[in-house]
Amino acid sequence: ADLGPLAAAGSREARGARTIAGHAMSYGRVGIETRVVLVNGAVGVVTTRNGEPYSVSGVTIRNGKITQIDILADPERLRGLDLTMLDD
């Protein structure tokens, strides 16, 4: 996850299905909403909080399994993105 240069924790890496699921579940507790978007031409997810982008995630799938999730949560970089929303 790229949290940006001003984030106290900086960027971080997490591994394992249980750990990743725990992080994902915590989003619901802080009022995060999700929408499907195009990320570099592939399907991804944008999360919003109070109507503003909170993070953008892209996934890598190999052999039918998610093998990597890249998350951009740097507020400065998020402001510069042109996000194409996909229909629900």
Q: Could you read off the pLDDT of 51-85 as tens digits, one per residue? A: 788 888 888 888 988 888 888 888 888 888 777 66
Arithmetic mean of pLDDT over the chain:
76
pTM over 0.75: no
- Which pLDDT band, with edges at 50, 70 and 90, does 47 fall under? confident
How many residues appear in the chain? 88
Q: For residue 62, which phi and psi values (nearest 5 degrees)?
A: -130, 130
**DSSP assignment, residue 70?**
E
What burial letters (b/e) apply to 26-54, b meaning 16+ CB within 10 Å? eeeeeeeeeeebebeeeebbbbeeeeebb
